[in-house]
Structure formats: C-alpha cells, structure tokens
Amino acid sequence: MASIYQESQREKAIDLIQSKNPVFYGSLGGKKFMTKFRDFVLIDNIKNLFEPIRSDAVEYFKKNKISWWGGKQPTGHSLSSQIACINHLYQIRNDKEAVLTILKNISDDFTDVLPVVNDKFKPAYIQFEAVSDNDNLNEGVPNRGSNCTSIDALIFGVRNDGSHWLIPIEWKYTEFYNNQNKATEGCTKETKGSKGETRKNRYSQLINNSSQLRSENHFCYYFEPFYQLMRQTLWAEQMIINSKNETLKATNFLHVHVIPSENSDLLEKKYKCSGMGMEATWRFHLEDQSKYFIITPEKLMNGIKDKTYYDLLQYLKIRYW
C-alpha cells in the first residue's frame, strides 16, 4: 500500500511521462515491475538518468563493479532513491568547489574535500555505493551495492582543525516502512541459523562496543529505517577503528540523511519500536547527536552555481522538487 507522498510522486511521474516532459526524454511508461505493468516505470530505463551523466554513470558502475538496484542496468522505476541520488550528485562529483558547497550546507566546519581514491575507475570527490576495503561488519566480502552495507554516496571531508572525516550519505525518496522485526525474521522454535539470528550474530557485539550507538536496548536497531542507520553508523566507526587497513584514513564521521520534508510517512510515523517519529527515535539511540544530520535534497544542493549547473538544477526542480 502506497503512502500519501509516494502516491503523489507516482502521479507526478506519470503526468511528466505522459505529457512528454523533457525530464524523461520521450520514454513511455508501462514497463513490468513486480509482476505488473506500471505507468511510472520507464520502458526505456536508461532515460531514468539525467542525460548529461548517463553514459559516464553507467560506465562508472560497470568498471567499479557496482550493482544497480534491482538488476544489472539502471532501473526504469521513476521513484528509485538510487537513481535520485545519482541524478542529484553525479554531475558535480568532479567539481571540488561544488562538492564543498554541499558539504558546507551540512556543516560550516568543513574547509576542504579530498578525492575518494579507492574508486578504481574515475575517482572523484563523491563516491557511490561505497564499501570498506575489508569485511569489518561480519558480512563477508564487501560487494558494492548488494549483499552488504553500502553507502549511497560518500564524501571525504577536511574539518577546520585539519582532521579527515567520512561523510556517509543515506538517500531517501518515497520510502516508508512497515513494522517488520528483522531480528526475528525466519525464526521459529525449530529454526536455527535464521536470517534474524544471523543478523544479531553479526551486529550485536559491534553495537555493544560502539561509542556512538547506545547499547542498553537493541530492539529498534532491527526495524527499518533504523536497521540501515545502525549498520551505516557501525560501518563508519569500523572504517575509523580499522583505518590502518583501509585506503580512506579518517578520524571521525558525520552521518547525513537526505529526505524530502514532504515524506511524512517516513518522518512522522510513530514507530512501533519506540512510539516516536523517525528523527526522535534515531537521536534517542545516539551518544553524540551532532554526528547525525537530516537535510532535504533541495537544501543540500543550495548554492550550486546556477550558470554552471543551470540545466541540472532545472531538471531536479521539475522532476523532484
């Protein structure tokens, strides 16, 4: 069942597709997705990407061995948050000034950005579907974009004291979540080695040892979206703890959550595990709340030079904002 915001964005995408708005470059909707033909899924899926970045982004994913959400090619699903993240950030990834501008929209304490050099192909100032070099979370060999903790976008920043910080960015669009407890998934009295038990075995001790995650009660950590946020926090912490074995050597991190303010079904839901909204729930579980920051996509892109990125900003305004 769709949320109010998700349904509004579906209708918006369908209107743009059917009216032949240039943001979808003439592609028709109606491709099959999850057993049904859907008007908001593009038949020509490559046209889900902003045209100036299209060929470069596809090559970047292929040569860095990154998985696309839902398959081997960019999805035609017009509400994909992976596609939204790439459409917003890919064109600026080589522009140091632009990347520093968006980082300063998060915190004025940053004075520089450095290349994320562990991209084997076309490293720049933003990396997509970032993983650690090593298995720091008991998940197996890191595989960018699937079957492990991946970061939607990563910036490597320098603070005003000269320290190097990881800036993991989690990008949301129309997502909202049910009340599934991932710690009990697949569990029965007769079942051993269930998905839920595997998850707890992976993360419980890391949570207990965390300096950022409060460990008195693990319950909320296994409900979305907190399950993702928990793993990303552990990812950043373990990157720092194991920095001598990682290409990116940082001493701290700032976890950024990009969410449209209109997505009330994600932000304002009273979560079963806490009885509070999303932000209040997550902040309750953090020792240092200054390391977590929520921003809208539009505010994140504020200050990007209009002349240089006029076409990109117009595209984003029509399609997303």
| pLDDT tens sequence across 260-284 | 999 999 999 999 999 999 999 999 9
CA proximity to 74, closest of 98, 89, 60, 58: 58
* Residue 290 DSSP code: G
pTM over 0.85: yes
Burial class of 26 by CB neighbour count within 10 A (0 to 12, 13 to 18, 19+): exposed
The span from the first CA to the last CA of the chain, in angstroms, equals 23
CA proximity to 56, closest of 121, 126, 116: 121
CA proximity to 292, closest of 301, 306, 282, 300: 282
Cα–Cα distance between 227 and 284 in angstroms, integer? Answer: 14
107 Cβ neighbours under 8 A, 6+ residues apart: 254, 293
**Residue 113 in contact with residue 96, Cβ under 8 Å?**
yes
Which residues are paired to 77 by β-bridges? 41
Cα–Cα distance between 105 and 162 in angstroms, integer? Answer: 19
> Given this model, what pLDDT does residue 187 score?
59
**Residue 248 in contact with residue 118, Cβ under 8 Å?**
yes
What digits encode the pLDDT tens for the residues 82-136?
999 999 999 999 999 999 999 999 999 999 999 999 999 999 999 999 999 999 9
**Residue 7's pLDDT band (cuts 50, 70, 90):** very high
Three-class DSSP category at 57: helix
Percent of the chain with pLDDT over 90: 92
What digits encode the pLDDT tens for the residues 151-208?
999 999 999 999 999 999 999 999 999 999 999 986 555 556 689 999 999 999 999 9
Pairing of strands 255-258, 164-171: parallel
* Residue 173 DSSP code: S
**Residue 304 in contact with residue 92, Cβ under 8 Å?**
yes
Number of neighbouring beta carbons within 10 Å of residue 17? 23
From residue 246, alpha-carbon distances to 136, 241, 313 in Å are 10, 10, 35
Does 15 have pLDDT greater than 90? Answer: yes
H-run or E-run covering 253: strand 252-253
